[in-house]
Structure 1
Amino acid sequence: MAVQSVEAPADVREQALPGYAVAAIREDGRWRCTRLDPDALVDLDTAITELRALRSTGAVLGLLDVDDEFFVLLRPGPGGVALMVSDAVAALDYDVAADVLDLLRVELPPEDDAIDAPPWPEGDLGILADLGLPADELEVLAGEVELYPDEQLAAIGRRCGFAEALAEVVDAR
């Protein structure tokens, strides 16, 4: 499901969070990765804007490892942007996760219920299906609570074919 970007309020940006924001771009059958602005970890609109600026004839995918707590996948397209957050409960504590749910028009259960709930992914689980990672496998990977988000994103990179390019960018930070 593609959704449209919304302008982030000026007060959304806070101090940079640990983690990384990377774009994976596939052109002519080859993947390359590039770092996104660290503000993408706290401001979803920054990530969307940067990804749209990377115009490509192939796939463009955003990968956000936010504070070693959860990850976000973004994939811009002509009709908007497809989004997936690995842990919807993170929206209680992180603006970028709340922004994902807002764009998806998904509401969290009451805070008392959500805090005790196990993490669950939300959004377009088929976001990578055409790149080799079916929705059911992405759901299982997102639910692996023993893995940190960077490990989950590395597994996604391996499955889709951009693991080496991702590792080069992440290791260089």
Structure 2
Amino acid sequence: MAVQEPVTGFAVAVVREDGQWRCSALDSAALTELDAAITELGKLRSTGAAFGLLAVDDEFFVIVRPSPRGPSLLLSDAAAALDYDIAADVLDVLRVEPPDEDDDAVWPEGDLEILADLGLPGAELEVIVSEVDLYPDEQLQMIAQRCGFDAGFSKLLDQL
């Protein structure tokens, strides 16, 4: 891997407990290291759903959902693994080979059903991911809206 430039974007933890959504910022290390994101999310003591939304450099996003059997992951663009360590880490955990350097297609890798139990079926998530004209934050806003935590998500992003 090449030496990584500083990464811009945001990392948000989303928790649903007792029917209420709560969004909070994760440490910026979560944007560059998958282990850091998983560790931070693991610290959120919640009886309900907990997952992370990572938007990296206006290029791609990662959804991380920790579980006792290992994290569920979705990478919006597998080709990002060629340029970003965190995307390469996701493919590594998924045991998926990174795409060829000259492959310019965009496709997701991971669990499209990652948020199905929260009201976002895999087919709909795939439609959102395939909207390549949208920035990752716009795609994540659509996900937040579909799952019902868009008010808290928008408010948090305005503060970041």
Q: How would you bin the TM-score normalised by the shorter chain?
A: over 0.9
For 1:170, the aligned partner's letter is: L
1:168 shift after superposition: 1.2
8 Å CA contact 2:7–2:57 kept in 1: the answer is yes
Query: d(CA) in 2 for partners of 1:109 and 1:71?
Result: 17
> Partner residue of 1:58?
48
Identity among equivalent pairs (%): 62
Residues 22-171 of structure 1: pairs in structure 2 closer than 5 A: 22-112=12-102, 114=103, 116=104, 118-171=105-158
TM superposition shift of 1:146 = 1.1
Distance (whole Å) between structure 2 residues aligned to residue 47 and residue 147 of structure 1 = 24
Can you give the 5+ residue segments of structure 2 that lack an aligned partner in the other structure? none
Shift in Å, 1:77: 1.0
Q: In the TM superposition, what is the alpha-carbon distance from 1:140 to its structure 2 partner? A: 1.2
TM-score (norm 2): 0.95
The answer on whether the counterparts of 2:12 and 2:24 sit within 8 Å (CA) in structure 1 is yes
Give 5+ residue unaligned stretches, structure 1. 1-10
Q: Secondary structure at the match of 2:52?
A: strand
Secondary structure, counterpart of 2:112 in structure 1? coil
User: Cα offset for 1:12?
Assistant: 9.7
The Cα of 1:169 is off from its aligned counterpart by 1.1
Higher normalized contact order (CA 8 Å, seq sep 6+, divided by chain length): 1
Measure the CA separation in 2 of the matches of 1:105 and 1:84: 13
| Structure-2 separation of matches of 1:103 and 1:110 | 18
Runs of 4+ in 1 over 2 A off after TM superposition: 11-16
Q: Structure 1 146/122 Cα, relative in aligned 2: closer, same or farther at 3 Å?
A: same
- Give TM-score, length-normalised by structure 1: 0.88
C-alpha separation in 1, matches of 2:2 and 2:93? 15
2:115 and 2:3 map into 1 onto residues whose CA distance is 28
C-alpha separation in 1, matches of 2:17 and 2:107: 32
Contact preservation (8 Å) 1:18, 1:66:
yes
Give the CA deviation at 1:15.
5.4
Once the two structures are superposed, residues 118-157 of structure 1 have per-residue CA deviations (whole angstroms, 9 ceiling, x without a partner) of 2100000000000011111111110101110000000000
Shift of the 45–146 alpha-carbon distance from structure 1 to 2, 3 Å rule, reads same
Q: Distance in 2 between matches of 1:90 and 1:141?
A: 17
